[in-house]
Amino acid sequence: MDTNITLLEERYPEVVYKEGEDLNIENMKKRIITKAWYDTAKYDDVPDIAVALGMGTKTVYSYARQLNLPRRSGLK
């Protein structure tokens, strides 16, 4: 077992780690932003995504460029 997982279980016994689960916060942000980016029914435009995720519009656009997401106008 990974040393980091052992430390996690010792410090936070309420956290249950499942094998293969990704606990990296940056990866979680990218998954959430990608999901919101493609959900044009719920999030009409980028400022709606920014407000829902509690970040700035420029940050959302920055992640979109980093993740090579398509233009949202083509998704509608």
Cα–Cα distance, 7 to 55 (Å, whole number): 31
Q: Which 8-state DSSP code applies to residue 55?
A: S
46's tokens? 């980028």
Give the model's pLDDT for residue 29: 94
Tens-binned pLDDT, residue by residue, of the chain (76 aa): 567 777 877 888 887 878 888 888 999 999 999 999 999 999 999 999 999 999 999 999 999 999 999 999 888 7
pLDDT of residue 59: 96
pLDDT score, position 12: 83
In the chain, the N- to C-terminal Cα span, in Å, equals 45
Q: Global pTM? A: 0.76
Distance (Å, rounded) from C-alpha 45 to C-alpha 52? 11
- Asked whether residue 32 is domain-assigned, the answer is yes
Residue 33 lies in a domain: yes
* Residue-range definition of the domain harbouring residue 40: 22-74
Q: Is residue 8 part of a domain?
A: no
The residue with tokens 């460029």 is: 65
